[in-house]
Amino acid sequence: MHPMNETLSLVLFSGTDDKLHAAGTLAAGACAMDRPVNVLLQYWALDAFRADQIGSDHGLAFDSIRPGTRHPPAGSAAIPWLETFRMAKELGEMSILACSGSLEVLGIAAGELDPIVDGTGGIAAFLLAAEGGQIVFI
């Protein structure tokens, strides 16, 4: 059993490729360090994990429109966030849950989600699992 303060809990709200990549990197780093990772998908991150959407172009965050910013040369769809999540899940202890509230608001059925999503969860259960550890909101 892991000490509770080792757990990294990620609340993913944003669904752009760059932010999902940042989230995947955090999750992967924690998994590599043998820290349990709990991910809660809300809103646009949840939508990005729909089975029919997960491989498509999710664009870049609003920051990217500033003149002069450098963009990924091959476009945002080339950002390997899904591969990072998959590998991290394979190597470590990671749970990815869909926020039941966001499913309801967006009208997404749990069955529409990619199999990498382990199930549906509520906020209290997520916060209980996060207790004593670190929570990051992206």
Site residues, another protein (CB under 8 A): 24-25, 28-29, 31-34, 84, 87-88, 90-92
SS3 at position 29: helix
Q: Which residue has the tokens 């997960």?
A: 54
Task: Compare residues 11 and 28 and give the one whose CB is closer to another protein.
Answer: 28
Task: Compare residues 28 and 54 and give the one whose CB is closer to another protein.
Answer: 28
From the list 118, 72, 79, 78, the residue with the least C-alpha distance to 98 is 118
* Order of all β-strands in the sheet with 94-99: 119-121, 94-99, 37-41, 8-12, 134-137
Task: Compare residues 29 and 59 and give the one whose CB is closer to another protein.
Answer: 29
- In the bound complex, what is the minimum distance in angstroms from residue 89's beta carbon to another protein? 11
- In the bound complex, what is the minimum distance in angstroms from residue 83's beta carbon to another protein? 9
Alpha helices by DSSP H, listed for 43-122, are 43-48, 81-91, 100-106
- In the bound complex, what is the minimum distance in angstroms from residue 71's beta carbon to another protein? 15
- In the bound complex, what is the minimum distance in angstroms from residue 28's beta carbon to another protein? 4
Task: Compare residues 92 and 121 and give the one whose CB is closer to another protein.
Answer: 92
- In the bound complex, what is the minimum distance in angstroms from residue 96's beta carbon to another protein? 17
For the record, the structure tokens of 16 come out as 């752009």
Contact 79, 58 (CB under 8 A): no
For the record, the structure tokens of 38 come out as 């709990």
Task: Compare residues 32 and 51 and give the one whose CB is closer to another protein.
Answer: 32
